[in-house]
Structure 1
Amino acid sequence: MRRLFWLLVGAGLAVFLLLRGRQLLERFTPKGVVEQVEKKGHETAAGFGEFMATFRTSMAQREAELRDELNIPANNN
């Protein structure tokens, strides 16, 4: 009974390592590296776009505040 238990544990571990190893191997192939770089590039571009939108909104709000405080008419260009 004890040997059967360890045989099953070993077989389960071997299957787990085989599947996990295949995933790791695919990550380090040229195709896998390209996919990872593309994913990070898209994430970075999206983050930068959000940053710029927030920056422009904040800049416009601050400009409106300063124009109001200094009694400067709004620039309607």
Structure 2
Amino acid sequence: MFRRTFWFTAGAAVGVWATTKVNRKLRQLTPESLAAQAANKAIETGHRLKDFALDVRAGMVQREAELGEALGIEAPSRHGLPPQRRVTALEGRPENQKQDNKHYGMLDEKHSYNRNEDH
């Protein structure tokens, strides 16, 4: 009697454990979960690349200082790379935007822009 009770309890425990494991794995494989995992990996990779770029930049500044000292060249007052450009080549030039918009027929106030509309 005790032997059967022991094996019944052991089987029930294994069944609960297996069901829990399967449900946990299924939750990990949902599209939302996979998208979240991919986003987390992308963010982590971005942080690693940023750290690498900062290390390379610091190494460049250090090496430039060493070479400047060895060659007897005055080091410039500003170390590092120039700041990143924030404006695109055509941005801020309204005459180009107007020509491009006329060429492609865009930004016409008289016409609808919804391509799904019946014409």
Report the TM-score, using the length of structure 1 for normalisation. Answer: 0.91
Distance in 2 separating the partners of 1:35 and 1:23? 16
Q: Secondary structure at the residue paired with 2:77? A: coil
Distance in 1 separating the partners of 2:44 and 2:10? 40
Q: Which moved more, 1:2-11 or 1:57-66?
A: 2-11
Amino acid at match of 1:54: D
Q: CA RMSD in A?
A: 1.1
1:47 aligns with 2:48: yes
Distance in 2 separating the partners of 1:38 and 1:24? 19
Query: Cα distance, 1:76 vs. partner?
Result: 2.3
Distance in 2 separating the partners of 1:3 and 1:55? 68
Distance in 1 separating the partners of 2:6 and 2:51? 54
Q: Deviations over 1:28-55 (max 9, x none)?
A: 1111110110111111111111111111
Moved over 4 A (4+): none
Distance in 1 separating the partners of 2:40 and 2:5? 45
Report the TM-score, using the length of structure 2 for normalisation. Answer: 0.61
Amino acid at match of 1:33: L
1:7 aligns with 2:3: no
**Structure 1: 5+ residue stretches without partners:** none
Distance in 2 separating the partners of 1:10 and 1:60? 66
Query: Cα distance, 1:20 vs. partner?
Result: 1.2
Partner of 2:74: 73
Higher helix fraction: Structure 1 or Structure 2? 1
Amino acid at match of 1:36: Q
**Structure 2: 5+ residue stretches without partners:** 79-119
